[in-house]
Structure 1
């Protein structure tokens, strides 16, 4: 493995480690500042909404201006934004910062886009992506634990201290990007007014092509699978939006132990994804993935019901295991169902639409959890997740029965 690929993997790890340090602590921090739960939900929705719209923009910009340069720019903007997050005492400023982060926090996408620039072998690229996912997953697992310890040891200024550490991590990451070798490619003249026109033309052309491809797809064939994906995305989005506050309210967990719980769940999910091939070996006759889809909703529904009835943190953690497994497998199963039914046609458009469904769920879910938490109570947020998965359970059973009759 060459030096450039090792640098990219270090960048991906440090990026998610920094995010894991601070993101689980944001809801509790803004609550201490006097914000209500609707505002906490709005923070999540704003971020997800800007992420949804900024991906194509940052991607097009990196194609024209250079991926390395744009990655450095986004990392430096994120460094300033996260540092400001810890310094400011205004909830309005925090809302603006979350919007800025939603636009510029595209590090993982840009890091993956840089891999083919330094590794031309497509088979090697696949292995690199797998290792990068595992390494960055380790970062997001360690982050909450370290952040929780720091916050608990420094109850007054812990969040500010963590924000400064996160800012330094992003500056350090920008420095690592700087040391990436320059990619040789045919470049035109220095960027001028024409470059801006090229960027606008590129984005305009990409949008037109996307809409053309989306129009060609027979959405009536796939609507049920997209509904399954939306139900899982919504259920998990609602649940995770108030995750830290739920643990604090129900079990009086400190930031340190909340970090342990988050890391444990992330580890279970990563292991489940890693063994997906082994899990699939038990479903050799499930060609259309309908049985796997049904079992995912059974697992999620039972898990959420168990979490809802948990009377202490130990039982709660036990029920997190099937929830993490169901969530990890569910994301992969719905994608496989879409690709299986497409027979190779419009595959790119379908994957893009699948990601859009997940992102839209990420926009709606935090606001729903915020309203429920504010007007009904934080313990009742989990009921919305349970309703979503139970609806998926009913629909997936109907879908499975229908497929069996057809066969």
Structure 2
């Protein structure tokens, strides 16, 4: 394997280790500072909004300039931001720092974009292998960092200590990129990162589309031009995208409510929360290895999606009525399988239903939908947990997943009607 790939995998691992250590503890830290659950959700939504606005700008700039230099700048800026985030105790300062981090925290998008550049022109198995290594590095970060942060937060000034550790991690990441990715582009792979992607001879039109998708952005013009393509059934497309939104929205609700739920409903300590999140990461890694056997039993993408919706709904309703936190470890297993099935089956089902000729546009649109879900879910979770019970957000997540399943059924029904008309 080219050392450039190894450096980027290592950078992704360190990036997620550092960011997750602090951000996973942020909701509980805000609660200790006296913030309401709605305020916690508002701060999360502010970060999502800034990311949604800044991602296309940073992604477009990175496609035209030196990704290596921009990555170094992101690591340095994040190191400063996370250090200050761990040091301040004012809610207004935290809000300002989350806005600042929303502007500069694009390192993972840049790494994914760089990997896309490096694999442009390579075979499909090689590209899938690259993504597999990248996902493994990310999963490993979520296995290691939560327990470490759970123990550090219990120390005197624990949140500040975590902020210092995160700053050191980002400094190490910057040194790694500086030393292992030389500025002169001495290797073939490194030269692709130094040069503009527009001038790279191996960058085809499709490769550029996927590079843009790595930043999870899609321009409004591209979105509406796709909806008006003559060979696409717009009703079918909108039903699919609506299903995608409710499915993504349910996942984001769980992501934003789980840490608070562990504390508010189950009264778990920070180390217990850390180990539970780490266990979830382990199960997801194992589920990734077992998914191919599940897909052999359910070869159709629709059945995989429906199974994912059924498992998610069952788990959300069960955890919402759970009194013994020990059973949380049991429910992490089907939840992780459902998450993995959703990741691998949705894109396949969309391609089968709409057609493979629009894959890049579809990925971009779904990236925008995921960004909107990431933006709206934190404040909704905060309001629901503040105004009702801690489990209310899980009931909304279960309802959202059920709506997604109903929409998938509607899409399948419409597809069969269209086929019968053609026959």
Q: TM-score under structure 2 normalisation?
A: 0.84
Distance 1:295 1:126, change over 3 A: closer
Q: CA deviation at 1:125?
A: 4.3
Contact 1:16/1:137, CA 8 A, preserved across alignment: no
> Match for residue 134 of structure 1?
136
Q: Does 1:233 align with 2:277?
A: no
Q: CA deviation at 1:404?
A: 6.3
* Among candidates 210, 217, 220, match of residue 222 of structure 2: 210
> Match for residue 380 of structure 1?
392
Structure 1, 343-352 or 364-373: larger mean CA deviation:
343-352
Q: Does 1:248 align with 2:263?
A: yes
Contact 1:301/1:389, CA 8 A, preserved across alignment: yes
Cα displacement string for residues 119-170 of structure 1 (whole angstroms, at most 9, x for unaligned residues): 6761344423321221222012211111011112x0x411110011101111
Contact 1:75/1:173, CA 8 A, preserved across alignment: yes
Structure 1, 179-188 or 101-110: larger mean CA deviation:
179-188
> Match for residue 199 of structure 1?
none
> Match for residue 196 of structure 1?
none
- 5 Å matches for 1:266-277? 266-277=281-292
Hey, what's the Cα distance between the residues in 1 that align with 2:350 and 2:120? 29
Hey, what's the Cα distance between the residues in 1 that align with 2:405 and 2:23? 31
> Match for residue 200 of structure 2?
none
> Match for residue 147 of structure 1?
149
Contact 2:5/2:115, CA 8 A, preserved across alignment: yes
Contact 1:19/1:140, CA 8 A, preserved across alignment: no
Cα displacement string for residues 331-364 of structure 1 (whole angstroms, at most 9, x for unaligned residues): 3322222122232222211110011111111111
Aligned residue for 2:89, secondary structure, equals coil
Gaps of 5+ in 1: 189-201
Q: CA deviation at 1:24?
A: 1.2
Distance 1:390 1:210, change over 3 A: closer
Contact 1:297/1:396, CA 8 A, preserved across alignment: no
Contact 1:213/1:346, CA 8 A, preserved across alignment: no
> Match for residue 11 of structure 1?
11
> Match for residue 278 of structure 1?
293
> Match for residue 295 of structure 1?
307
Q: TM-score under structure 1 normalisation?
A: 0.87
Contact 1:272/1:329, CA 8 A, preserved across alignment: no
Q: CA deviation at 1:216?
A: 3.9
Distance 1:62 1:308, change over 3 A: same
Q: CA deviation at 1:47?
A: 1.8
Aligned residue for 1:345, secondary structure, equals helix
Hey, what's the Cα distance between the residues in 2 that align with 1:357 and 1:134? 25
Aligned residue for 1:310, secondary structure, equals coil
Q: Does 1:223 align with 2:238?
A: yes
Hey, what's the Cα distance between the residues in 1 that align with 2:243 and 2:289? 22
Distance 1:117 1:322, change over 3 A: closer
Contact 1:14/1:173, CA 8 A, preserved across alignment: yes
Contact 2:223/2:365, CA 8 A, preserved across alignment: no
Q: CA deviation at 1:187?
A: 6.9
* Among candidates 263, 270, 276, match of residue 261 of structure 1: 276
Structure 1, 69-78 or 107-116: larger mean CA deviation:
107-116
- 5 Å matches for 1:20-35? 20-35=20-35
Q: CA deviation at 1:215?
A: 4.6
Contact 2:83/2:163, CA 8 A, preserved across alignment: yes
Aligned length: 386
Cα displacement string for residues 347-394 of structure 1 (whole angstroms, at most 9, x for unaligned residues): 211110011111111111111111111122323222211221232344
> Match for residue 352 of structure 1?
364
Q: CA deviation at 1:316?
A: 2.3
Q: CA deviation at 1:313?
A: 1.0
Structure 1, 375-384 or 84-93: larger mean CA deviation:
375-384
Cα displacement string for residues 181-227 of structure 1 (whole angstroms, at most 9, x for unaligned residues): 23347979xxxxxxxxxxxxx9xxx9486356435444323122212
Hey, what's the Cα distance between the residues in 2 that align with 1:290 and 1:116? 28
Hey, what's the Cα distance between the residues in 2 that align with 1:89 and 1:18? 20
Contact 2:240/2:408, CA 8 A, preserved across alignment: no
- 5 Å matches for 1:55-66? 55-66=55-66
> Match for residue 331 of structure 1?
343
Aligned residue for 1:159, secondary structure, equals helix
